[in-house]
Structure 1
């Protein structure tokens, strides 16, 4: 483990990137300029692997280090597979960084473990109401702030325009109901093409995609029986052949590959797939809209939030962590970072930037974010997720009726303690 406490340093590199490998060894590389002696370190952990993500972090850290003279920031790469383990060990040993970037659905459990500290009193100058409600709530507990939303995304409905045109069907839009969506999928299921597919794999990735249907039906992650009509829809469409039976095994990448291959007319997926579609299928004529709503009297469908939060680690001196959070809170800084990252900014005003709103595909995700909610938030989220995904698997494979699956899943989530 690498200790990143706020302490006086000498000759520190301003953007020092340290790699903690699975074996615990460190691979260190330096990028950027050397900081002045006497500055306090601000160490950030992340699990970012792509070149775009690394460049985004370099830009953020260089910008922060150039913006003030009291602190010098650096970041440590920890492999995603080891992330929770390293954080849990760090809580026990006290060897932790100043800031942690982590999946938003994991933050509640680490707040409960005592990893993150209350920064409410040190951030009174942050306009918290400028943040999108869902991402913001995932960084809070009992009205207190423990960090800031870093990046946000959700899933929406992709559709193949050429297939809709050939079938003489109107494109789905914000008024499309479940009944209309089902009829569209049936009409498009022919000649080796299946109307719709999503990721129902037996992991939290599957919960991320499937839980929104339960919410849209009137349920929640603790009220499965209230959303039983979602199980009805899934099973009926799979048995009709208009919702791919392979969804039970598919990851989100699998779903996108089948959409690119024109094996699916519609898919549920996220904005991170857009660059891959552009690179691998530049001529694919497709659109994106919000997910179908329950019925004509319902509001916009719910989607489930993805993305990361940046939590401030609980320490006697959290001034460096707070300073970096305030730097990132600046709208122009956030916009630039998310453009590099390929995600959406969690502030309402930042998300209105023309970079996203001028593109109809990106704009559809911004609209969907308005009714997106976090997984949980709950310190026991992994247990809830496992119970929900078991129910989804049973429905998709017709191992149980929707009613029986909802009853058993409800019992499983009720048993989570």
Structure 2
């Protein structure tokens, strides 16, 4: 089940229905379990500010961004806005830079994970307090590897070792990898493969980077060789193929690890992305809570997001496996709850070569174009160069 967007604190859904004691919060929500977990985060803000009521507006992840942009453009945006680091640059024109609020409230920003905090900055300004972070990783099915007589992947494994595992699994009638055409998965895998990237460190968009095009061709070769399942237009298809045992590996963030472990009917492991001719191991990304410019009560909203990202709140989320915390003091709680052998070593290895995935004002559109056209490259219907030329032609120059 998914949760439909609700009105903004009252029937009109407009910013005019706000009050100092009634704030709305927009969040991506996948179902009832998500709703319950995030309600406790809203409750934490309510408890810290007497008489406050934070009401969640929920939407499925992919719908959230479309609806948020619509709300921001029509004056019906929530006060508190959930934000992904790679999409932060898309929304800064409608968000409050919170540096002065952090200073005014004596917020100790050093308590937040540095990578997570930097991910919430655009042009040096802070637009959200992070609640989660982490390097993009590869999840794997330990039972499938063992049954095929293939050694479990160790942190730092290479593209050659990855493909060798693919050949061995294929010989046993199994498939190594569940492909994806989603932006973070594509960009992280190709960065680790050959340093290809469509967004440079400074946020400049280069949709026809030759290395990135070659990275798409490599992903297509995995499908052609029978080492990978074709990508699907359904963004959650690779997750489902992995959990159902159709593929031995797939890529995802630490925010999904404990949830996937609970779903899987096999022993789940985690390792780094396979590295080829690259100096980087993966991208890191995270999410946080910011304030829309339409919010008439930014001081109250700021105090709410401090409570929503407090050590206590994030520690509780970590203990339940909802998010790898954006505060360093409670990251151990997440590892303790995950109970996955070697997870801390995997994270340490990944983070040594990880770089934050930079945002660009066209990141949303790029993600949509990947979903529309990237699938044709991953599945070998067109070359990486052909697909990225198509994508480039539809992006602002």
Match of 2:259 among 252, 275, 281: 275
In the alignment, does 2:188 pair up with 1:196? no
1:164-198 CA-to-partner distances (Å, cap 9, x unmatched) read 33444321112211111111111111343112222
Q: Where do residues 223-262 of structure 1 align in structure 2 (5 Å cutoff)? A: 223=206, 224-244=209-229, 246=230, 248-249=231-232, 251=234, 253-262=236-245
Tell me, in whole angstroms, the C-alpha distance in 2 between the residues paired with 1:256 and 1:375.
21
Report the equivalent of 1:398. Answer: 380
Report the equivalent of 2:38. Answer: 57
Q: Note closer, same or farther for the CA distance 1:236–1:96 as it changes in structure 2 (3 Å cut).
A: closer
Report the equivalent of 2:331. Answer: 351
Could you tell me the TM-score, scaled by structure 1's length? 0.75
Q: Would the aligned equivalents of 2:259 and 2:321 in 1 still touch at CA under 8 Å? A: no
Report the equivalent of 1:309. Answer: 288
Q: Would the aligned equivalents of 1:155 and 1:270 in 2 still touch at CA under 8 Å? A: yes
Q: Where do residues 205-224 of structure 1 align in structure 2 (5 Å cutoff)? A: 206-216=182-192, 217-222=194-199, 223=206, 224=209
Q: Would the aligned equivalents of 2:177 and 2:249 in 1 still touch at CA under 8 Å? A: yes
Shift of 1:320: 0.4
Q: Where do residues 137-152 of structure 1 align in structure 2 (5 Å cutoff)? A: 137-152=118-133
Where do 4+ consecutive residues of structure 1 move more than 6 Å?
Answer: none
Q: Would the aligned equivalents of 2:221 and 2:380 in 1 still touch at CA under 8 Å? A: no
Q: Note closer, same or farther for the CA distance 1:95–1:391 as it changes in structure 2 (3 Å cut).
A: closer
Q: Note closer, same or farther for the CA distance 1:362–1:73 as it changes in structure 2 (3 Å cut).
A: farther
Residue correspondences, number: 374
Q: Note closer, same or farther for the CA distance 1:251–1:136 as it changes in structure 2 (3 Å cut).
A: farther
Shift of 1:261: 3.8
Report the equivalent of 2:316. Answer: 336
Tell me, in whole angstroms, the C-alpha distance in 2 between the residues paired with 1:373 and 1:289.
17
Could you tell me the TM-score, scaled by structure 2's length? 0.78
Shift of 1:92: 4.4
Shift of 1:120: 0.5
Larger Rg over CA atoms: 1
Q: For structure 2, which runs of at least 5 residues remain unmatched after alignment?
A: 14-18, 200-205
Tell me, in whole angstroms, the C-alpha distance in 2 between the residues paired with 1:316 and 1:278.
41
Report the equivalent of 1:293. Answer: 275
Q: Would the aligned equivalents of 2:185 and 2:251 in 1 still touch at CA under 8 Å? A: yes
> What SS does structure 2 have at the residue aligned with 1:333?
helix
1:172-228 CA-to-partner distances (Å, cap 9, x unmatched) read 11221111111111111134311222223xxxxx22211112222112123431334
> What SS does structure 1 have at the residue aligned with 2:129?
strand
Match of 2:341 among 357, 360, 383: 360
Q: Would the aligned equivalents of 2:150 and 2:169 in 1 still touch at CA under 8 Å? A: no
Q: Note closer, same or farther for the CA distance 1:340–1:73 as it changes in structure 2 (3 Å cut).
A: farther
Q: Note closer, same or farther for the CA distance 1:133–1:232 as it changes in structure 2 (3 Å cut).
A: farther
Report the equivalent of 2:364. Answer: 382
Q: Would the aligned equivalents of 2:177 and 2:227 in 1 still touch at CA under 8 Å? A: yes
Q: Note closer, same or farther for the CA distance 1:158–1:341 as it changes in structure 2 (3 Å cut).
A: closer
Tell me, in whole angstroms, the C-alpha distance in 1 between the residues paired with 2:376 and 2:26.
38
Higher RCO by CA contacts (8 Å cutoff, separation 6 or greater): 2
Tell me, in whole angstroms, the C-alpha distance in 2 between the residues paired with 1:407 and 1:101.
30
Tell me, in whole angstroms, the C-alpha distance in 2 between the residues paired with 1:85 and 1:270.
22
Q: For structure 1, which runs of at least 5 residues remain unmatched after alignment?
A: 1-17, 29-37, 201-205
Shift of 1:346: 1.8
Q: Where do residues 126-205 of structure 1 align in structure 2 (5 Å cutoff)? A: 126-152=107-133, 155-200=136-181
Tell me, in whole angstroms, the C-alpha distance in 1 between the residues paired with 2:88 and 2:113.
17
Q: Would the aligned equivalents of 2:99 and 2:125 in 1 still touch at CA under 8 Å? A: yes
Tell me, in whole angstroms, the C-alpha distance in 2 between the residues paired with 1:226 and 1:119.
37
Shift of 1:294: 1.9
Q: Would the aligned equivalents of 1:132 and 1:347 in 2 still touch at CA under 8 Å? A: yes
